[in-house]
Structure 1
Amino acid sequence: MTNTNLLEAMTVRERTKKILETISQGLFEREETVAMAFLAAIAGESIFMLGPPGVGKSMLARRLKHAFKEGRSFEYLMSRFSTPDEIFGPISISRLSKEDKYERNTESYLPGATVVFLDEIWKAGPAIQNALLTVINEKLYRNGEQEVKVKLQALISASNELPERGEGLEALWDRFLIRCFVDRILDEDSFYKMITATEIKEEIELEEHLRLSEHEISLLTKQINHINVPDEVLKVITVIRKFIARHNQQLESNSEEEVYVSDRRWRKIIRLLRASALLNGRDKVNLEDCLLISHCIWNTPAQIDLTKDWINQAVYEYGWQSKYNLKTVDLQIESLQKEIDEQTREEKDMYVNSPQLVEGKYYQIENFKSWYDKILEEDFELLSGIATDCKLYTNTGRCEVYQLGKISSTEVEIRVGDGYQRYKLKTVRERKKGLVPKKADTHVLEHLNDHANKILTYLNKVAGELEEIRKQLMDGTETHLFINKVRREEMENYLNQILKKVFDEKMQVQKMKEAYGGNLV
């Protein structure tokens, strides 16, 4: 997606990628958090970071301001004694004394900043909380008698704890659409690079042509609203909502582990997915974007992995299945097999040899030179082509363990000495109904071929699309800018599973054609 009014020589995606790479320099294992903070800023949302002190949360905010032309940052460590003056600016004495107006000097404080970082946010008092709600919701700050449009593009908050229940912080907590857990550096190589680096710059230098102007942000904001949301994405959200409902039903009322996502929050999530699609250079949301929902619906640390599992399952098992109608393909293959059976086979009486039960529970092994020549019916049914330990019985019920493998419905192989020997079970001749081939005319075969070829054509189309997506994931040409390496590997593994299913279905249809002679028509 290229917009010449917005970006002259590079696409939205290329510019976003360069911004993220620059901001992330030296911030080991923080690439995803940086990406989500930038995405939040473009979508007009706020982000909360949960994690211990000293993991680079404030540095991220200082760097993010450079993504915007004339960007300014404001940061503050909250305490129980913090006052509105410290956040929104002191009262203007001259205005108060000369004009009798109660106004603040806001320029160097939150209302005048592009990027704001508020540490230990939950320690803020009610006066600050109420003002923050208006700032986050409407991007307005009431300064005396007038409402001022704040310059805020990104509000980043952090704490090493979550808001306590019953403290009146629920409304503020709900306003942080994106929630990220920021831990200490876990990878040893990254940790060694961090502690041995001679310098990690607090500030960065972002080339001027990469920085976003107010006009460009305004254009992006308008474009977000025109990004298409396809049905498979909406179906994923429906599945996630069902997971949430089922989880909550299993909890006691008012449990801290209840997952609540308001309608307003879902609307904001959709906007976030649209922003992700736009910055990735697409005109519609895709299933990869849905993985970002995992940052938006957890309320406690215990829910982080739980909600991620829900979203993975919704995207992989339902989203992709819905996108490519694989369940419908399964039904079509079943329908084809039924047609083949009806048109190219007929039912006739057949005589077959079946194992004969002895004493109502054993099968007899013929010509086995041992007293232990009986096998339990259920043990025989469990045998496979691979030899395993199995008990054989005598007429008196005594048993001994041998190594057996099943060759067919009436034959076994038994380890005798250093090798295996084949033995038949005692059988009885039975009359059964069975399907036998019948000659079908050319018209019938052409009809079956038409049905089979339509399925194969669709499966080839799906396989081609999946191979292309898989190739892009592997060579990085279309790597999702807001999804980390681990999630991309999960996606690649699942794509491989779907590809295997598609290839298996193709093979199944080809074998069905061979069985009725369709390849010869």
Structure 2
Amino acid sequence: MDIKTRISELLRILSNDLFDRESIFELTFLALFTEQPVYIFGRSGSGKNIIAKRAIQMFRDINVLTFAKRYQEIPKNLEDYQIVFFQGFDSKNPLCNNFVNITIQEKSARSLIMTSKERPEASLAEAGIADQVLFILSLPEIYSVNSLQKLLKENFNINNIIAPVDLLITKEEQIEWLKKIQTVELSDDTLKMIGQIAECCNENQVYVSIQKWLAFSLIIKTIAFFNGRSQTNITDTFFLGTPIWIRKAQNETITTCFKNSLTQWLYNRFPLISNLEESLTQLKQEVEHAINSNGDVYETILFNNIECIQYSITVAGESIPLYTPAAYIGTNQEFNPFNELKQKEKRVICNFMGDNVCRISIDSSAKKTGLRATTNASFGKTFEPFAKLPARVLRINDEEKIKKNKAIIEELKQTLVSTIEKNASAMIEFKELYKEVKNNKNNLFLNTEYFNYLQEAIHTQFSKISEHIQILKSLQESLMQKK
């Protein structure tokens, strides 16, 4: 039996009745295996001690030093114990605090597990070990209806679950496996995800010591090792986005950051999608402009380094200059013109509606008070038609302009061909990435929420690119019909 199958069977047997708590059990085991401190918080009867004992049951022939309510002296042979278990950790008890600090400071190949009904932010701060504990795990206060019904129906004896001895991990195996885990390579994707979460922690004043980052990387390598890999991948980092942090606000912040980091990871893998919408809008505008262009030459000025049509409108008794980019002539795109300060005037919307007449609509509030009396920051949501102003034509059927339009159309045809090819290539890559991620579906310690989130994000981008290709092909057909 290989290691993955063996650990999978162990996890299955020992978590079979830990409904809605399986992931906490798995993280507890990972902390014990890698000899990192873990704190399990939960109300009385929530199952925290059961989870701790089940995680300890993963190991064979180990010495466990258990502290319950009565604290006597720490044995002098502390190094002979592989696991130190503080059951019902009490930060108000000086002896308890002293013992746990000694256990952490004099660590010698030992794992530390604490269970408590004290909230971790207060308890760990009182004991002075908040920065030393790797995982702070909080149990849910309720069972889901389905889990409760299953628990009652199956009539589990939660205190009498025993795994076969031949599956249990011996101390010698733990030592051997930890040596091999050190050789597992952290992939570039893994390092980037760690970097983004670290940046999130820095921005939100969440202190994480270098020792804790090293421990996190060891957990990531351990997950890869137990899944039979010599290199980590992005799915091994998913636990970083789960509630393992000391405060509720930190958990919420980092969970949001982690999802954003997954999206950013996709953007980094496929830079094309970061400006997909903008590039398509730009191409649509250029194609519409080219199709509807004739040989007419318009009176323009160079404004904000852009060839623009200058208009003047009177709003609330004030004459207001507006500058519309000439590239919008002949398009059906809505846009904000420039004002005299060379800023986009968000209180005004323009649309040439496929010809050379600019339809101007104004924010209803600005229409009453004037554009200078309000600011771009205070524009409303209701726009009212205000004026229809044609662009002034200097020459019609200008040969040079006609020649230039034809050259633009040919250039756009080539651009569309190239863009369609790039998008088609990206679709193939997205399909391969989807398969690559999907291959991790049966991984041990996989956070299914983030797995599904990532799969859905990949599928969404794949569908979006497919839709864009269809739009690009329709633009291509429109250009082909232009004589």
TM range (shorter): 0.5 to 0.7
Shift of 1:275: 1.3
Aligned: 1:286 with 2:233: yes
Q: 1:323 aligns with which of 269, 286, 293?
A: 269
Work out whether residues 260 and 297 of structure 1, in 8 Å CA contact, stay in contact via their aligned partners in 2.
no
Q: 1:26 aligns with which of 17, 23, 37?
A: 17
Work out whether residues 68 and 87 of structure 2, in 8 Å CA contact, stay in contact via their aligned partners in 1.
yes
The CA distance in 2 between the partners of 1:167 and 1:449, in whole Å, is 61
User: What is the 5 A alignment of 1:397-412?
Assistant: none
User: How big is each residue's C-alpha offset from its partner over 1:9-64, in whole Å with a ceiling of 9 and x where there is no partner?
Assistant: 33x33332222111111111110011111222333322111221211111122222
In structure 2, the CA distance between the partners of 1:297 and 1:323, relative to structure 1 (3 Å rule), is farther
| Aligned partner of residue 459 in structure 1, secondary structure | helix
Q: 2:89 aligns with which of 115, 120, 128?
A: 120
The CA distance in 1 between the partners of 2:108 and 2:62, in whole Å, is 20
Which residue number in structure 1 is paired with residue 188 of structure 2? Answer: 231
In structure 2, the CA distance between the partners of 1:358 and 1:310, relative to structure 1 (3 Å rule), is closer
User: How big is each residue's C-alpha offset from its partner over 1:129-154, in whole Å with a ceiling of 9 and x where there is no partner?
Assistant: 3421135x432xxxxxxxxxxxx4x4
The CA distance in 1 between the partners of 2:294 and 2:197, in whole Å, is 47
The CA distance in 2 between the partners of 1:218 and 1:51, in whole Å, is 31
| Aligned partner of residue 206 in structure 1, secondary structure | coil
In structure 2, the CA distance between the partners of 1:37 and 1:379, relative to structure 1 (3 Å rule), is closer
Aligned: 1:277 with 2:224: yes
The CA distance in 2 between the partners of 1:212 and 1:309, in whole Å, is 36
In structure 2, the CA distance between the partners of 1:116 and 1:509, relative to structure 1 (3 Å rule), is farther
Q: Which residue identity is paired with 1:431?
A: V
In structure 2, the CA distance between the partners of 1:483 and 1:133, relative to structure 1 (3 Å rule), is same
User: How big is each residue's C-alpha offset from its partner over 1:235-281, in whole Å with a ceiling of 9 and x where there is no partner?
Assistant: 33333233223323xxxxxxxxxx21112211221111111222233
Shift of 1:164: 4.1
Which residue number in structure 1 is paired with residue 139 of structure 2? Answer: 182
Which ranges in structure 1 are unaligned for 5 or more consecutive residues?
1-8, 89-102, 140-151, 249-258, 362-377, 398-424
User: How big is each residue's C-alpha offset from its partner over 1:205-264, in whole Å with a ceiling of 9 and x where there is no partner?
Assistant: 32344222334323321222222223333233333233223323xxxxxxxxxx211122
Work out whether residues 233 and 287 of structure 1, in 8 Å CA contact, stay in contact via their aligned partners in 2.
yes
The CA distance in 1 between the partners of 2:190 and 2:277, in whole Å, is 23
Aligned: 1:304 with 2:247: no
Aligned: 1:491 with 2:454: yes
TM-score by length of 1: 0.63
User: What is the 5 A alignment of 1:342-491?
Assistant: 349=296, 381=349, 428=390, 430-431=392-393, 437-438=405-406, 451-452=418-419, 455-456=422-423, 458-469=425-436, 478-491=441-454
The CA distance in 2 between the partners of 1:187 and 1:209, in whole Å, is 34
Q: Which residue identity is paired with 1:63?
A: R
Aligned residues: 406
User: What is the 5 A alignment of 1:200-215?
Assistant: 200-215=157-172
TM-score by length of 2: 0.67
User: How big is each residue's C-alpha offset from its partner over 1:175-229, in whole Å with a ceiling of 9 and x where there is no partner?
Assistant: 2211211122331221233355534231323234422233432332122222222
Shift of 1:469: 5.0
Shift of 1:311: 1.9
Greater shift, 33-42 or 205-214, is seen at 205-214
Aligned: 1:57 with 2:57: no
In structure 2, the CA distance between the partners of 1:267 and 1:515, relative to structure 1 (3 Å rule), is farther
The CA distance in 2 between the partners of 1:121 and 1:326, in whole Å, is 54
Shift of 1:77: 2.0
Q: 1:138 aligns with which of 108, 112, 135?
A: 108
Work out whether residues 68 and 211 of structure 1, in 8 Å CA contact, stay in contact via their aligned partners in 2.
yes
In structure 2, the CA distance between the partners of 1:445 and 1:324, relative to structure 1 (3 Å rule), is closer
Q: 1:36 aligns with which of 27, 34, 58?
A: 27
In structure 2, the CA distance between the partners of 1:14 and 1:432, relative to structure 1 (3 Å rule), is farther
Work out whether residues 51 and 181 of structure 1, in 8 Å CA contact, stay in contact via their aligned partners in 2.
yes
The CA distance in 2 between the partners of 1:498 and 1:138, in whole Å, is 49
The CA distance in 2 between the partners of 1:450 and 1:161, in whole Å, is 61
In structure 2, the CA distance between the partners of 1:482 and 1:471, relative to structure 1 (3 Å rule), is closer
Work out whether residues 48 and 179 of structure 1, in 8 Å CA contact, stay in contact via their aligned partners in 2.
yes
Q: 2:72 aligns with which of 55, 79, 83?
A: 83
Which residue number in structure 2 is paired with residue 46 of structure 1? Answer: 37
Q: Which residue identity is paired with 1:438?
A: K
Greater shift, 200-209 or 268-277, is seen at 200-209
In structure 2, the CA distance between the partners of 1:359 and 1:452, relative to structure 1 (3 Å rule), is closer
User: How big is each residue's C-alpha offset from its partner over 1:371-425, in whole Å with a ceiling of 9 and x where there is no partner?
Assistant: xxxxxxx999599x9xxxx99x9xxx9xxxxxxxxxxxxxxxxxxxxxxxxxxx9
Shift of 1:295: 5.0
In structure 2, the CA distance between the partners of 1:513 and 1:41, relative to structure 1 (3 Å rule), is farther
Shift of 1:307: 2.0
Work out whether residues 261 and 297 of structure 1, in 8 Å CA contact, stay in contact via their aligned partners in 2.
no
The CA distance in 1 between the partners of 2:87 and 2:94, in whole Å, is 10
User: What is the 5 A alignment of 1:334-345?
Assistant: none
Work out whether residues 430 and 458 of structure 2, in 8 Å CA contact, stay in contact via their aligned partners in 1.
no
User: What is the 5 A alignment of 1:252-267?
Assistant: 259-267=206-214
Work out whether residues 15 and 210 of structure 1, in 8 Å CA contact, stay in contact via their aligned partners in 2.
yes
Shift of 1:161: 2.2
Which residue number in structure 1 is paired with residue 120 of structure 2? Answer: 162
Q: Which residue identity is paired with 2:459?
A: N
Shift of 1:69: 2.8
In structure 2, the CA distance between the partners of 1:167 and 1:17, relative to structure 1 (3 Å rule), is closer
| Aligned partner of residue 67 in structure 1, secondary structure | coil
The CA distance in 2 between the partners of 1:447 and 1:76, in whole Å, is 75
The CA distance in 1 between the partners of 2:417 and 2:423, in whole Å, is 10
Q: Which residue identity is paired with 1:455?
A: K
